[in-house]
Amino acid sequence: MLNIMLLVLLVLIALWTALTPLLLRAAIGLALTSVVLTIIMFRFNAPYAAAFELSVCAGLIPVIFISVISLTHRLPLKEFLKRREDRLRRFWPLPLLLLAVAAGLFFVRIPLNITLPWPETIADVRVVLWEYRRTYLFGQLMVLLAGVFGVLVLFRGRNENER
Amino acid sequence: MSAEQTLLFWQYASTGILLLVIGFYCLLVTYNLFRVLIGLELLIKGVTLFLLAAGVISGHSALSQGVIITVIVIEVVVMIVAAGIVLGFQDKFDSLNVKNARELKG
């Protein structure tokens, strides 16, 4: 029962994140979504993934988002109200669409004939990452280096524009 | 798959699909570049939930955690670079409206 409540809460917070007109609230909603996902991960005995989700997705990414929001310009009140109305017009079908999809998923059950693999013999994520899936770590390092390179290129462009 | 595993998978897969729907809708409908990132984040949350459910049901929790950690690393790098692009966009156009991107050259 608690699992279902957490799943419903996850969808509701995600919906609120998408619908809220203020970007700051959307960033906070994203952090809350990550927190609920973290609780689900802990309950499913996935503590390493949960720790990553909590520290990075609920901690670092909202901080980056809020920093970006603080560096952007605030709209004048009149324009903000106009855009909010326009947003409402574009976003109102989303809750209805969600309800329709949820009802469809509830009533239409596609039979799943999936053959499950043998249960794992190694239950430690550290052993999996360091011994069996070491290439994942190389990939992660490459992605991190690509990110650093991307940020350097972006900010070099900014400095040149300022000169 | 036993009936209990199927039910559990359906619960998590349904929630993942709902998150994907919210993320896709956000991506399709919005003109704000920052909200595009929010939509992308919601999509990744849905994918993470799928991976978690797959790991739990198949009994390969450690492997699924490894994949989830990889996804999170990729997610944070993509978000940092995208945040830089958002700031560059704001500097150039003084707005986050993606329609302005049509004026970009080269």
The per-residue pLDDT for range A53-103, each reduced to its tens digit, is: 999 999 999 998 998 888 887 777 887 788 778 888 888 888 999 999 988
Is residue A116 one of the residues assigned to a domain?
Answer: no
* Contact state of B59 with A120 under an 8 Å Cβ cutoff: yes
The domain total for chain A is 2
Is residue A80 one of the residues assigned to a domain?
Answer: no
Q: Which residues in chain B have Cβ-Cβ distances shorter than 8 Å to A102?
A: 14, 18
Beta carbon pairs, A and B, within 8 Å: 209
Phi, psi of B69 (to 5 degrees): -65, -40
Q: What gap in Å lies between CA B66 and CA A148, rounded to an integer?
A: 23
Q: Are residues A93 and A150 in the same domain?
A: no
Average pLDDT, chain B: 87
pLDDT at residue B85 is higher than 90: no
Nearest to A123 among B49, B52, B61 (CB): B61
User: Mean pLDDT, to the nearest integer, of A96-118?
Assistant: 80
**Closest approach of B105 to chain A, Cα-based (Å):** 15
Q: Are residues A51 and A99 in the same domain?
A: yes
CATH of domain B3-97: 1.10.287.3510
pLDDT at B84: 87
**Closest approach of B81 to chain A, Cα-based (Å):** 6
Q: Residue A144: which domain range? A: 125-163
* Contact state of A97 with B25 under an 8 Å Cβ cutoff: yes
Nearest to A147 among B64, B81, B91 (CB): B81
Number of alpha helices (DSSP H) and beta strands (DSSP E) in chain B: 3, 0
User: Do A73 and B94 contact (CB within 8 A), yes or no?
Assistant: yes
pLDDT at A78: 81
pLDDT at A162: 58
pLDDT at A76: 77
Which chain A residue lies closest to B22 (C-alpha atoms)?
A: A15
pLDDT at residue B34 is higher than 60: yes
